[in-house]
A and B are shown apart, each in its own frame.
Chain A
Amino acid sequence: MSSTRPRLATAWLGGCSGCHMSFLDLDERLFDLAAAADVLFSPVVDAKTIPPEIDITLIEGAVANEDNLELLKHLRERSRFLIAFGDCAVTGNVTALRNLAGGPMLVLARSYRDESNLQPQIPTELPVIPPLVDRVVPIHQVVQVDFHMPGCPPHPDLIWYCVTELLAGRVPNLTGKWKFG
């Protein structure tokens, strides 16, 4: 593990995992990525702990619960370059639509009690379920973000362009390459 190769991480917060699907859609380029860098921590890597030092971290999803918040803060502390990866991380997007229903209890009541016809109950007592934060927010409202990569999801070509530019030590120039949605 003591390689000097670039260290990459990805994380999945309050999002649908679509950004990670788009990441996997790099297809053959995943081999090139594996040849150029170590992906140390990610939903697609069996790592239980966050590595102490990361060069580039891609964050999918908005901050929706306490787990998201904690993971984001830890990754920020350990990452040299942190990217808001996709619209939920960048804007809150669909994940943040929950805010329109009100605070956590109203959201849980709406989802688990009001719309349920079989054993309506709000799963707040179970310790396995992380408490919801009051308001879903994009990640740059919680930590410093070095780069925003919008898209729902960002196209694999855009992901590849950004990651390869960063690996080459350059800040990607998104002009004409991106959009929201």
Chain B
Amino acid sequence: MSVRTFTLNDQLITAAAGQSILAAAREHGIAIPTLCELEGLSTVGACRLCLVEVAGSQRLLPACTTEVQEGMTVVSESPRLKHYRQTILELFLAERNHVCAVCVSNNHCELQNRAVEQGVTHVRFDYLMPTLPVDMSHDRFGVDHNRCILCTRCVRVCDEVEGAHTWDIMGRGFQARVITDMAEPWGDSTSCTSCGKCVQVCPTGALFDKRATAGGMVKQPSFVKVLQHARARKESQ
């Protein structure tokens, strides 16, 4: 296995060729904040929370999709990054209706946790407060578009792990929405296997078990990593 050596926050780190900055940092116990990334799924760089500074690049680069290069110098904590991360989180909170107090995922939400970790105590932008639907047509699950941050974890897990590709994204920009099948009610979907993987990986209260009340939705997204690992082992046997 060929290796790449790079500098992360003044620390010399060895990574495998092809490894992302994020994966290498994690292996060395350096936490970089993330939202859309989930171990076991492909990376898409959707949320931009994991942006890092790379010497020689004017632009900030997402640590989850940027491969380690030999000799590169990376900074994952700085006042500039903190500013951008806070701004990103505030924009998420302003874009739809994240009302933590009455959300099924209160106290178990990745967006809520990231906001606290990054010190977002209030939102400087005007709240858009769009009127968005809640689809409760599925037997067991619901989707509340008010809480969706368009991370596409549901889309990826359904396609890459379950193999159903029930979920997708329709529309662009702030009008983008997650959809099931051809934008039909979830309950009418003929491709959905009702496996619930999307619900478990959704970082917010957007996808939930219909039995859950406020604060009652506790998810276990780490199954993806375990499942993918087990499959890889089986294939190599």
Contact = CB atoms under 8 A, between A and B. Distances in A.
Nearest to B111: A180
A43 interface: no
Nearest to B124: A140
Dominant secondary structure of chain A at its interface with chain B = mixed
Interface stretch (A3-11, A69-77, A84-92): A84-92
Given A99-B129, A179-B116, A180-B115, A93 B99 contact: yes
B121 interface: yes
A100 B146 CA distance: 11
B106 interface: yes
Given A94-B101, A100-B129, A152-B101, A181 B119 contact: no
Interface string A127-146: 00000000001101100010
Contact of A87 (B101, B131, B215): B101
A88 B202 CA distance: 26
A174 interface: yes
Dominant secondary structure of chain B at its interface with chain A = loop
Contacts of B119: 174-175
A180 B123 contact: no
B121 A150 contact: yes
B97 interface: yes
A96 interface: yes
Report the contact-size class of chain A (Cβ under 8 Å from the partner): 20 to 34
Contacts of B131: 100
A150 B122 contact: yes
B122 A181 contact: no
A152 B93 CA distance: 16
Nearest to B215: A181
Interface string A148-181: 1110100000000000000000000011001111
Contacts of A93: 99, 101
Nearest to B103: A181
Interface in B48-100: 93, 97, 99-100
A148 B102 contact: no
Contacts of B103: 181
Interface of A: 84, 87, 90-94, 96-97, 99-100, 137-138, 140-141, 145, 148-150, 152, 174-175, 178-181
Given A138-B122, A178-B121, 19 more contacts: A84-B122, A91-B122, A91-B127, A93-B99, A93-B101, A94-B99, A94-B101, A94-B102, A96-B129, A97-B99, A99-B129, A140-B122, A141-B126, A150-B121, A150-B122, A174-B121, A180-B116, A181-B106, A181-B107
